[in-house]
């Protein structure tokens, strides 16, 4: 009888211990509010469906990045694919693309953001290029930017 109970219990525990996945915000206002609540900068990913997937596969889809991001940043993904997003969201993304000077996809920035007089303001901490070396090198570069910004 106890074996019958242990198997489902073990199964439930193993499911609850799996990584929960990344929580990418898609609205800048939501990201700013959360960033200010948790006192963490925003990692902004500018991307599109036809962007190279090296950064996604070697960094963002790893358990190490998931752990690092939960501890250090609020994630914001601005996707410029041909999707059915609202006109307001598309306009928001285009304004942010221009404000950050994004030329290619994917591009990643670390920034602090706040709202003042109903206007969004950003303090860009740094741009994170994709470099060979995988997640460890990427996290190292990110930490250098974050440590420099907060010291």
Paired tokens of 133: 């070396």
Any domain includes 7: no
Any domain includes 13: no
Check residue 60 and report its DSSP letter.
I
Residue 87 confidence (pLDDT): 81
Residue 37 structural domain? 22-150
Check: CB of residue 131 under 8 Å from CB of residue 141.
Answer: yes
- Looking up tokens 């974050």 gives 146
Element (H, E) at 3: helix 2-17
- Looking up tokens 């470099």 gives 131
Any domain includes 16: no
Residue 4 confidence (pLDDT): 55
Give the residue from 105, 130, 102, 132 showing the smallest Cα distance to 50: 105
Any domain includes 115: yes
Check: CB of residue 42 under 8 Å from CB of residue 27.
Answer: no
Any domain includes 85: yes
Any domain includes 9: no
Counted domains in the chain = 1
Residue 76 confidence (pLDDT): 96
For the chain, 151 residues long, give each residue's pLDDT as a single digit of tens.
Answer: 555 544 544 444 443 444 458 899 999 999 999 999 999 999 999 999 888 888 888 999 999 999 999 999 999 999 988 766 678 888 888 999 999 999 999 999 999 998 887 788 899 999 998 777 789 999 999 999 998 865 4
How far is it, in rounded angstroms, from Cα 30 to Cα 16? 27
Q: What is the CATH number of the domain that holds 69?
A: 3.40.30.10
Any domain includes 90: yes
Check: CB of residue 42 under 8 Å from CB of residue 32.
Answer: yes
pTM reported for the whole predicted model: 0.81
């Amino acid at each position: 009888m106890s074996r019958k109970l242990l198997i489902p219990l073990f199964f439930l525990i193993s499911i609850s211990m799996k990584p929960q996945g990344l929580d990418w915000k898609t609205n800048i206002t939501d990201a700013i509010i959360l960033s200010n609540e948790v006192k963490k900068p925003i990692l902004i990913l500018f991307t599109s469906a036809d962007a190279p997937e090296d950064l996604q596969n070697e960094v963002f889809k790893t358990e190490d990045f998931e752990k690092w991001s939960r501890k250090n940043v609020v994630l914001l993904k601005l996707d410029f694919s041909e999707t059915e997003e609202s006109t307001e969201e598309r306009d928001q993304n285009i304004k942010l693309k221009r404000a950050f000077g994004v030329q290619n996809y994917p591009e990643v920035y670390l920034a602090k953001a706040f709202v003042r007089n109903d206007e969004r303001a950003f303090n860009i901490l740094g741009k994170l290029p994709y470099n060979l070396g995988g997640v460890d090198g990427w996290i190292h570069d990110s930490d250098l930017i974050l440590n420099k910004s907060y010291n």
